[in-house]
Amino acid sequence: MTDPLLSVQGLRKSFGGRTVLKGVDFSVAAGEVVAFLGANGSGKSTTLRCVMGITAPDAGTISIAETALDSLQGRNLQEARQRMAMIFQKIHLIPRRTALDNVCAGALARIPTVRSLTPMLFPADVQQEALDCLDRVGLADRAFDRVGRLSGGQQQRVAVARALCQRADVVLADEPVSALDPHAAEQVMALLRELAHSEGLAVAAVLHQPDLALRYADRSIGLLQGSMTFDLPSTEITADHLDTLYAPDRNIAA
């Protein structure tokens, strides 16, 4: 395997004396999709939130392209963090703005003088790049539609386009398809896999549908009460592996 683009070692997190991550280690290479599977409360979102820096971990090292984030400061740290983007089940877009504006917002960190989402303020080159990103997710023809008028699946693709416009190469997706119908879910997973395989993104996606993990993720990681139970090529995941995650008696504490 190629060198990992994202590498996480010894991630630990407690909330109020309850340990919810007990030492999570994984890596995602450029061009790879890794699925996180696990029951409710097993620590999947907390893992991604710690990696993203939304939640402060108690311990652990997060590295981008083999550089530990805690060895960086100031602009270098900001630039490394900009390489990561997160997308969520509940889509965080501005519904009254166009798809294009929402995608342009991904570039905000590169254009610090732009402090609002006033469309005229996005430079022409950013708008062009955003259009290109919408094209890459198959939505160039919807660029000037308000996001609130797009379907859930289309909105999630806009969120992916915004990550691309941020020029993120590590995409963390927390249940990106849980709110979507089966067809839209397939489309979004196929898009994430295509972007990983053809453009070299590293994608880590929390999924509650093991069948999607088996079909779209190169590797799958099982989390059980804050500990990893497997990290395997998805083709090697068996019903027994899934039983260890979802059998009710194993999740009493969750």
Residue that is written with structure tokens 């630039």 in the block: 79
Q: Is 20 in the site for ligand ATP (CB under 6 A)?
A: yes
Helical pair 152-165 and 124-136, crossing angle rounded to 10 deg: 130
Q: Bridge-partner residues for 170, per DSSP?
A: 84, 202
Longest Cα separation, the chain? 57
Tokens of 208: 């509650």
Q: Which of 134, 126, 136 lies closest to 195 in space, CA to CA?
A: 136
Q: Which residue is nearest to Mg ion (CB)?
A: 45
Q: Is 166 in the site for Mg ion (CB under 5 A)?
A: no
Minimum distance of ligand ATP from residue 237's CB (angstroms): 18
Exactly one of 40, 118, 198, 238 binds ligand ATP (CB under 6 A); that residue is 40
Minimum distance of Mg ion from residue 89's CB (angstroms): 8
Q: Which of 149, 31, 172, 7 lies closest to 89 in space, CA to CA?
A: 172
Determine phi and psi for 59, rounding to 5 degrees. -155, 160
Residue 46 binding result from ligand ATP, Mg ion, none, given CB thresholds of 5 to 8 Å by partner type: ligand ATP
CA-atom Rg of the chain in angstroms:
18
- Number of shown-chain residues binding Mg ion (CB under 5 A): 1
Q: Is 50 in the site for ligand ATP (CB under 6 A)?
A: no
Report the alpha-carbon distance of residue 238 to residue 236 in Å, rounded: 6
253: three-class secondary structure by DSSP? coil
Q: Which amino acid belongs to residue 92?
A: H
Q: Is 225 in the site for Mg ion (CB under 5 A)?
A: no
**Among 41-49, 98-106, 157-165, 231-239, the segment contacting Mg ion (CB under 5 A):** 41-49
- Tell me whether residue 38 or residue 153 sits nearer to ligand ATP (CB atom): 38
Q: What angle do CA 64, 33, 58 make, to 5 degrees?
A: 45
Q: Is 15 in the site for ligand ATP (CB under 6 A)?
A: yes
Q: Is 38 in the site for ligand ATP (CB under 6 A)?
A: yes
Q: Is 44 in the site for ligand ATP (CB under 6 A)?
A: yes
Exactly one of 7, 27, 42, 45 binds Mg ion (CB under 5 A); that residue is 45
Residue 31 binding result from ligand ATP, Mg ion, none, given CB thresholds of 5 to 8 Å by partner type: none
Exactly one of 12, 22, 30, 41 binds ligand ATP (CB under 6 A); that residue is 41
In the complex, the residues that contact ligand ATP under the rule CB under 6 A are 15, 20, 38, 40-46
Q: Which residues bind Mg ion (CB under 5 A)?
A: 45
